[in-house]
């Protein structure tokens, strides 16, 4: 479950529930200088004088009296969360910034679960990293063919989460380099895109079948993701047949390992050991000679 939006719910509840209908949160970009200044002013009131920015992120909060949403085309959000770390005190603090007609307000929120939603660790800061603003990220997505196809095929597409941090755990992408991660969901599958935060080079990983016919309702599911020891793949019986194949490939499309799919009709669950795999991004590919499915997953050891 994506816990990031629920931090925003807690934030809004803490502000003043009776003012929901009166507040008008204004959208702004992640790298807005006034938003960053609001956070820096809040940090000055703490003992964390050496705090460095680790990541910036946000997510949609559905069914709220006040809208906290992202404009996919403009790259703006009504709430961004800024996560800092004091290396001297080994302490992490998070601030959510809202913008109203009165200006920018920075509010402390718990840092729990933040890193569980993004493939970044609290080891590398954005202090010396080059990272584009959130509007440029969306510009990079618009010219990515995989994103364009997903958006066209999935009219119910919703943006779940977007965040930027320094990659220190995925060796198949540029290490010690800032990346934006943007996650979308729909009734027919999910899409996660990694945008190199300096060049805009974009890699999108999807969990839907490569064809557009989704009428059978069958969906493969993989969990946990990220994983360290094992992953489990659920293959519905209606997607199984005697011609099924199952393989793991790296981010460059090279086959790493052939796996044994379940015998037709015997089981729907496959356990896959990750003992021989290094940390990184991989693709689990399942084919039944009718459809091909590709599910990206992250190994974090």
Domains of the chain (ranges; CATH) run 4-206 (no CATH), 221-299 (2.60.40.3080)
| 2 Cβ neighbours under 8 A, 6+ residues apart | 59, 117, 160, 161, 183
SS3 203: strand
* pLDDT, average across residues 135-161: 90
* pLDDT, average across residues 225-253: 82
Q: What is the pLDDT of residue 39?
A: 94
Give the pLDDT band (50/70/90) at residue 21.
very low
Give the pLDDT band (50/70/90) at residue 111.
low
Which two tokens mark 92?
Answer: 């992490």
- Report whether the peptide linkage leading into residue 117 is cis, meaning its omega lies within 30 degrees of zero: no
Q: How far apart are CA 195 and CA 180, in angstroms?
A: 5
* pLDDT, average across residues 212-240: 72
Position of tokens 């010219």? Answer: 143
What is the value of pTM for the model shown? 0.67
Name the residue among 184, 51, 169 with its Cα closest to residue 120.
Answer: 169
Give the pLDDT band (50/70/90) at residue 206.
low
Which two tokens mark 94?
Answer: 């998070």
Q: What is the pLDDT of residue 124?
A: 82
Position of tokens 């956070």? Answer: 39
Region of residue 117 (phi > 0: left; psi between -120 and 50: alpha; otherwise: beta): alpha
> φ and ψ at 86, to 5 degrees?
-95, 115
* pLDDT, average across residues 279-290: 81
pLDDT tens profile 28-87: 999 999 999 999 999 988 877 889 999 898 886 444 445 577 898 999 999 898 999 888
Q: What is the pLDDT of residue 77?
A: 93
Which range has highest mean pLDDT (9-13, 223-227, 248-252)?
223-227
* pLDDT, average across residues 153-179: 82
The H-assigned helical ranges of the chain are: 4-15, 33-44, 134-142, 145-153
Q: What is the pLDDT of residue 70?
A: 86
Any bridge partners for residue 189, and if so which? 186
């Amino acid at each position: 479950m994506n816990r990031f939006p629920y931090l925003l719910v807690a934030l809004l509840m803490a502000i003043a529930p009776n003012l929901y209908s009166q507040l008008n949160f204004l959208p702004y970009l992640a790298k807005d200088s006034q938003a960053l200044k609001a956070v820096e002013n809040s940090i000055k009131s703490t003992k964390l004088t050496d705090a460095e920015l680790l990541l910036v992120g946000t997510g949609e909060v559905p069914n709220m009296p006040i809208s906290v949403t992202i404009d996919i085309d403009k790259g703006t959000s009504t709430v961004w969360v800024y996560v800092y770390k004091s290396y001297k005190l080994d302490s992490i603090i998070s601030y959510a910034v809202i913008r109203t007609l009165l200006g920018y307000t920075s509010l402390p929120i718990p840092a729990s679960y933040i890193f569980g939603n993004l493939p970044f660790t609290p080891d590398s800061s954005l202090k010396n990293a080059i990272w584009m603003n959130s509007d440029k990220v969306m510009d990079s997505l618009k010219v990515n063919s995989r994103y364009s196809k997903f958006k066209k095929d999935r009219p119910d597409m919703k943006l779940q989460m977007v965040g930027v941090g320094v990659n220190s755990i995925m060796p198949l992408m540029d290490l010690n380099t800032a990346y934006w991660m943007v996650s979308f969901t729909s009734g027919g599958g999910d899409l996660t895109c990694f945008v190199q935060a300096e060049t805009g080079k974009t890699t999108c990983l999807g969990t839907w079948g490569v064809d557009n016919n989704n009428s059978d309702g069958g969906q493969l599911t993989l969990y946990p993701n990220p994983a360290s020891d094992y992953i489990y793949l659920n293959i519905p019986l209606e997607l199984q047949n005697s011609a099924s194949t199952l393989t793991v490939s790296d981010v460059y499309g090279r086959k790493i390992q052939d796996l044994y799919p379940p015998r037709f009709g015997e089981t729907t669950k496959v356990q896959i050991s990750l003992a021989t795999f290094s940390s990184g991004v991989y693709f689990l590919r399942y084919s039944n000679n009718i459809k091909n499915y590709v599910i990206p997953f992250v190994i974090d050891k």
